[in-house]
Amino acid sequence: MMKTILRIAFLLIITPLCLGQDKPDNNLTYTGKWRAFPFDTKPFLLTPTTLKQNWQYLHRATHYPFPDAHFISTLLTENPKLKASIPQYKSVNRIAYTLQEAWIAFFEGDFQKAAQLGYSLGPLGHSVAFYAQATYASRLETNDDKRHALWEDILNRHEPSKALTRYDSMTRFFAFFSMARLSEELSMPVVVARDYLNKMLLTLAELNADEPDNIFVLAARGSIDAGIVRKLGKLMGRLAFGANDESIEKYYLKALKQKKGLPTVHIEYAQSLLYMYGKKKLDKAIKHMRIASEVKPGYALEAMNTFKAQKRLEELVLIKKNKGYGLRRYVKRNRAAEKNYYF
């Protein structure tokens, strides 16, 4: 009851500040050339055959099904409305080929091509399209307005079609991810007025119930309380949203026990420890950032993750050398442009 009262009171206070917030008219997936992947792509080139051979490794965080013709045929037979939503439907084989090409583009680091191919299939392709667009916005787009527009575009696409993609954890997760990244960069009054925190908590609870071992979901569930504390402070975070440090250990340990060697899990665990505990957990954060930095990448985004870990490790080691000086600024920076190591 107290949580509800606090949320309502906070919302009433800040709602006038948020009126008139316009959603951007966004066609950024198709207009203009996105920034290129910043590293050599040769080690990550794939064909439909090698994509299938390496699929289990590439999707080891989620065990996402390979989109071959058999899977697509079964899916569309069970979901006639999903089939009807595909623009210019041709054949199951053609759809499977397009989806595989989209995933190849994603793993090779051509995020714009991956998003365009995914969207060409309607909601069926939202999984790879959302993943690619959210990744590009988070990692490579330096303009704040464009980055926010890309995330909001995902949310705007997801809302009217989410009943069609209830089966797809990837689509649902990267809609959540886009909301989470917006929540980091927008002001707290806007985040609360849009009810993002409650929506994110509900989505994660549903995803975790559907796929208890999905590492993306476990890591996000472990991070969200730390993010709330970072945004609101420990007292308000606990009172209004029940944020606490127990979630970090509970969900991250479950993710790490799977031993999938995912650098992003170690990075986000390190970040969450610093958000929640600050200097007290600096050594542990450095340990996990080092583990992430030493992973041999198997695809483009993983290469970006290991590079990111290497740069953050350098920062944290320097902060430790300076007896914690600089940690507050490290924790408080919340815009992707402030954390960009690629340009």
Task: Judge whether residue 52 has pLDDT over 50.
Answer: yes
Contact indicator for 182, 148 with CB cutoff of 8 Å: yes
Give the pLDDT score at 334: 67
**Does pTM surpass 0.85?**
yes
Question: What percentage of the chain reaches a pLDDT higher than 70?
Answer: 90
Give the pLDDT score at 333: 80
Amino acid at 286: I
Q: Which residue has tokens 């397009």?
A: 98
Query: pLDDT tens across 120-166, in order?
Result: 999 999 999 999 999 999 999 999 999 999 999 999 999 999 999 99
- Binned at pLDDT 50, 70 and 90, residue 21 comes out as very low
- Binned at pLDDT 50, 70 and 90, residue 262 comes out as very high
- Binned at pLDDT 50, 70 and 90, residue 23 comes out as very low
Report which of 230, 225, 220, 223 is spatially closest to residue 241, judged by C-alpha positions. 225
Task: Judge whether residue 15 has pLDDT over 70.
Answer: no
With a CB cutoff of 8 Å and minimum separation 6, the contacts of 232 are 188, 240, 241, 243
If you ran DSSP here, which 8-state letter would residue 298 be given?
Answer: S
Report which of 92, 98, 87, 89 is spatially closest to residue 70, judged by C-alpha positions. 92
Q: Which ranges in the chain belong to alpha helices (H)?
A: 2-18, 48-58, 69-78, 80-84, 92-108, 111-119, 126-139, 144-161, 169-185, 188-193, 196-210, 215-232, 234-241, 246-256, 263-277, 282-293, 300-321, 327-332
Contact indicator for 165, 172 with CB cutoff of 8 Å: yes
